[in-house]
Structure 1
Amino acid sequence: MADEGVIASRVYSLDLRHSDSTYGAVIYGGLDKSKFIGALEKRPIVRGSKGEYRLAVELTMVGVTATTSSSIMVSGRDSNVMLDSGTTMSRMHSAVAMPILQALGAQDDGEGYFRVPCSLQTAGGSIDFGFGRKTIRVPLKDFILSLDRSSATCYVGMVITTDQQILGDSVLRAGYFVFDWDNQEVHLAQAANCGSNDIVAVSSGKNAVPSATGNCKDSDAMFTGGSLATPTKANSLPTKAYTTVHTITSCPPFDPSCRLGAVTTQVIPAATGSGDSDSAGVRVSWLSGLLMMVGALTTVYNVL
């Protein structure tokens, strides 16, 4: 479209909306100011974890927010994440995933997925992902996935991988993303919905994407604070690392990448330890299992 002059440059914006929405939007050559909060944060596109060309950016922080906030800083190999709207389940390294799973009281099902009560979907709180100065807060209603309406068991929208990390739909739904291929940049903000479309066309050149500020307020973000349930099972996550090799005989409906009959090998690490010796490079200081930062949410995270 850019080559034919339909749009000014190779830019498109992505608005997946929340899990209970029936529609989203992709805008080629423009962005919609009525679909995000605050100023767009510009981040460079980086190569994948193996040096290949991918739509990847640097992740700087992950955390959990309820009545208090817990976070870990991310660096080294753990900071490289691909943004992929074609992937439902996010795939993260153990050093990044384990603190989140522990905070949610998740139970390892022995096949690489992690169970939680479906009541967490309405418990309030968020899983937070930091990109430079911007934090995208993912409501638990989007991060916790249901098998079906009749089941009391749900699954965390994240699995552990030793390969390329991927932020899939379980995370991307909470963000508004503008991809600028010509300048190798991603512009991002907290997604919201605050009325009629306010679409702005992008230009060309070095600053093709304008320094736009969204029309929406924090109250438009479909996020509610609240308390996470205290985990009741001490052995919800493995205390020793183990490897599973099995043939997939059934697939959860929320993971379209699952293939019946495939033989998979998964390495599930232990949930113990501070992570300071993790070869991936993350460094975590622990207080009751996580670095605790207690206080008002507006003083902890710069969402705007």
Structure 2
Amino acid sequence: VQIGTPLQTTYVQLDTGSNELWVDPICSSSADPSFCSDLGTYNPPSSSTSVDTDIDFEITYGEGSVSGTYYIDNILLAGKAPTNFSASLPSTQFGVGSTSSFVYAGIMGVCYGYPYNTLYYNIIDQLANDGKINSKLFSLALGSVTTTAGEIVFGGVDTMKYSGSLTEVPILFPGPDGSVRYWVNLNSVGNTEPGASSKLYTPAGYSLAVILDSGTSLSYIPQALFNLILADFPGAVAQSDGSYTVPCSFASESGTMNFGFGSVIINVPYSQFIIQPSAGTCYLGVLPTSNTIPILGDTFLRGAYVVYDQSSKAIYLANYVDCGSSLAAVPAGAGAALAFKGSCAAPTTTTSAAPSTTTTTSTTA
């Protein structure tokens, strides 16, 4: 994002699990001080259009926290080639950090804003209010572990980032904990091992409320379900921090983890589900929830193309495939995104549906 007059550039992490934009983490207390320092900062006194609201904020995440002061200034959302999209948002409120812990970058939260979670219009609200998008809708292709960037399309879809038709999944509004977030019902979880038939870990009629959260690296599910998955990754070893290492050979196998939502099954290849932070060290991409609400994070989202439609209170899902780029604006109206079919061929590994049972570039259509 670029902020102020003249423009100051800073990079932020896209987060579908939170709802506020803030910048300027304290890099010395971040998870990665060197990387954090390379992302740029916003200095309010250097902007002639900056307004200090004298209102403090504090945000706590699953890991990390930030506090600071709200400012109002002009914001430019600037994308990268090939679209070079930009959207100017005048007089937009956001946070400027003064203290933070264990966060390496500012965060752009794109969950529901006003009036559910904020007392002011957040980025998605502003885009819709200013007529930059037809409704409060955006789509996300997180990309694979081998790509350098994902893609968010404000107000539209990229039909060359998925295969087949989008499937509508209602947002639970509000969620089981009373919050207004991207809660949906997960109806099945299964596995297709290399050279084997698909199997389900969940019974017919299964339903688990989960949050689709790009700000969470792993996925978190109930202990009993986790135990069933763990049994299919022999050689897994529990670590002192609660994570599980697995043999890195799994990452090169052709198996998939399969997540069902109504009639659609999202097949996540092992290569996207296994995390490999360094050569020779691999981690299982899911953990038991313990004190955490059920979340499908990046290890799920790397296999999915997701359209988040606040206006229709719906999520639209398809299997992620990257065959280029072709943007299309989604008109206003309930279910309007369903008219846009993916242009890509189906993934090489697919699973039939169970019976009802990391920088991100911004673009617009």
TM norm structure 1:
0.69
Q: How many residues align?
A: 224
1:114 Cα offset (Å): 1.2
After TM superposition, the structure 1 = structure 2 runs for residues 212-223 of structure 1, keeping only pairs within 5 Å, are 212-218=340-346, 221=347
1:1-304 to structure 2, matched below 5 A, reads 1-46=127-172, 47-66=174-193, 67-73=196-202, 79-105=208-234, 106-149=236-279, 151=280, 153-162=281-290, 163-195=292-324, 197-218=325-346, 221=347
CA contact (8 A) 1:59 1:74 kept: no
Indicate how the Cα distance of structure 1 residues 69 and 298 shifts in structure 2: closer, same or farther if over 3 A, else same: closer
1:112 Cα deviation after fit: 1.5
Q: Find the residue that maps to 1:35 and give its secondary structure.
A: coil
- For the residue of structure 2 that corresponds to 1:73, the secondary structure is coil
Shift of 1:93: 0.8
Q: 1:77 to 1:86 in 2, by over 3 A?
A: farther
Q: How far did 1:48 drift?
A: 3.0
> Is the partner of 2:337 in helix, strand or coil?
coil
Contact 1:82 1:167 in 2 (8 A): yes
CA contact (8 A) 1:74 1:96 kept: no
Please, what is the CA RMSD of the aligned residues?
2.1
Deviation, structure 1 residue 39: 0.6
Instruction: Read off the aligned partner of 2:133 and give its amino acid letter.
Output: I
CA contact (8 A) 1:9 1:208 kept: no
Q: Is the Cα–Cα contact under 8 Å of residues 116 and 156 in structure 1 kept in the other structure?
A: yes
Residues 1:100 and 1:50: Cα distance change in structure 2 (over 3 Å): same
User: In the TM superposition, what is the alpha-carbon distance from 1:108 to its structure 2 partner?
Assistant: 2.2
Greater displacement, 58-67 / 201-210 = 201-210
What's the offset of the Cα at 1:200?
Answer: 1.4
Compare 27-36 and 140-149 and name the one that shifted more: 140-149
Q: CA deviation at 1:207?
A: 3.1
**Cα distance, 1:102 vs structure 2:** 0.8
Q: 1:97 to 1:119 in 2, by over 3 A?
A: same
Q: Is the CA contact (8 Å cut-off) linking 1:17 and 1:24 kept in structure 2?
A: yes
Is the contact made by 2:260 and 2:354 (CA closer than 8 Å) also made in structure 1?
no
Q: Name stretches of at least 5 consecutive residues in structure 1 with no aligned partner.
A: 225-296
Contact 1:134 1:189 (C-alpha < 8 Å) held by counterparts: yes
Q: How far has the Cα of 1:83 moved from its partner?
A: 0.5
Provide Cα deviations, 1:41-61, integer angstroms capped at 9, x if missing partner.
001001333222111110000
What SS does structure 1 have at the residue aligned with 2:184? strand
Deviation of the 1:25 alpha carbon? 0.5
Which entry has the higher C-alpha Rg, 1 or 2? 2
Distance 2:178 2:206 in 1: 11
Following superposition, the deviation at residue 38 of structure 1 comes to 0.8
- Structure 2: distance between partners of 1:301 and 1:141: 23
